[in-house]
DNA sequence: AGCTTGCATAAAAATAATTTTATATGAAAT
DNA sequence: ATTTCATATAAAATTATTTTTATGCAAGCT
């Protein structure tokens, strides 16, 4: 996804979702209302900079929102994004039903 | 999109759409019922192997169907793909209305 | 059959994305 | 004020994708 690309928004959107780790993070965020970086790090056994890198891609594609609370940074899906909403059913597909978020849940440190 | 990836189908789908040239080809196929490679080459001023490369990515993501007729190979959108159908409205967005296919049209050599 | 056209594919070269390693920042704790 | 923790960001190293260049193949023409 080189710089100066036209139609960037759409390209960024698809690009962000075209990576297995990022898709898994999206799925995790679908199950948990929100997650801080350390939870994602632990859940997937990834390095922290790696997770931060991918979260940035997701952020810049407008797929997630973030908020700092104390020392932690929490990420959650940007469900206001209509494109995300359009593809979520396909991302959910194959997920265990039990893992799909139906109600808010307490998470995190 | 490294080899041996899990959840390949979805990743391939998003990956195929995460590239400006491929998105433009999708848009062109939306306007023209079907296009042969030489038409895409001419329409965008791309080299033939480049177009073939991108068409293969689109094929392997199940986004397009192809058929040889004589010496020409024609590509068209795989509108049976439900994921493609889900995102098409967003891909159309910003396209000139006049370019959006409403009826079949005669194209090609 | 031999030529030409349209296209796929392979190999090499160029470019871009990801991962790792190292460092910086903001917030709380001591 | 210093230290510690959680995380972002930068730089370097690695890996993947894209582009270019070269070649091969199928189909029609002469």
Write the ipTM.
Answer: 0.90
Distance B71 CA to C3 C1' (A): 15
In this prediction, residues A72-86 reach a mean pLDDT of 98
Q: Is the pLDDT of residue A4 over 70?
A: no
pLDDT at position B100 is 61
Which percentage of chain A shows pLDDT scores above 90? 77
pLDDT at position B98 is 61
Kindly state the helix (H) or strand (E) to which residue A36 belongs, with its residue range: strand A35-36
Which percentage of chain A shows pLDDT scores above 70? 81
pLDDT at position B94 is 66
CB contact under 8 A, A86 and B90: yes
pLDDT at position B95 is 73
Summarize pLDDT for A42-53 with one digit per residue, the tens: 999 999 999 999
Q: Is the pLDDT of residue A36 over 80?
A: yes
Domains of chain B, by residue range, sit at 8-79
Q: Is the pLDDT of residue B104 over 70?
A: no
Backbone angles phi, psi at B75, to 5 degrees: -115, 145
* Residue A70 to chain B, least CA–CA distance (Å): 35
Closest amino acid to nucleotide C8 (CA–C1'):
B52
The residue among B94 and B6 whose pLDDT is bigger is B94
Among A23-37, B33-47, B68-82, B93-107, the minimum mean pLDDT is found in B93-107
The residue among A107 and A27 whose pLDDT is bigger is A27
Topology classification of domain A8-77: Arc Repressor Mutant, subunit A (1.10.10)
Q: Is the pLDDT of residue A100 over 50?
A: yes
Whether A78 contacts A62, CB under 8 Å: yes
Q: What is the secondary structure of A61-79 as a DSSP string? A: TT-EEEEEETTEEEEEE-T
Q: Which nucleotides of C are covered by protein (CB under 7 A)?
A: 5-11, 15-22, 26-28
pLDDT at position A69 is 96
Q: Is the pLDDT of residue A75 over 70?
A: yes
Q: B8-79 in CATH: which number?
A: 1.10.10.10
d(CA B42, CA A12): 27
Q: In Å, what is the CA distance from A13 to each residue of B17, B78, B106?
A: 9, 21, 33
pLDDT at position B5 is 47
Among A20, A44, A82, A91, the residue to mutate for chain B (most B Cβ within 10 A): A20
Summarize pLDDT for B26-81 with one digit per residue, the tens: 999 999 999 999 999 999 999 999 999 999 999 999 999 999 999 999 999 999 99
């Amino acid at each position: 996804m080189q710089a100066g690309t036209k139609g960037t928004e759409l390209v960024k959107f698809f690009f962000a979702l075209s990576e297995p780790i990022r898709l898994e993070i999206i799925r995790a965020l679908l199950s948990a209302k929100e997650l801080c970086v350390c939870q994602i790090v632990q859940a997937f056994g990834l390095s922290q900079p790696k997770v931060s890198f991918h979260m940035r891609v997701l952020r810049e594609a407008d797929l997630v929102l973030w908020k700092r609370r104390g020392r932690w940074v929490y990420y959650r899906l940007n469900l206001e994004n209509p494109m995300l909403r359009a593809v979520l059913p396909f991302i959910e597909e194959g997920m265990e039903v039990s893992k799909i978020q139906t109600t808010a849940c307490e998470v995190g440190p």
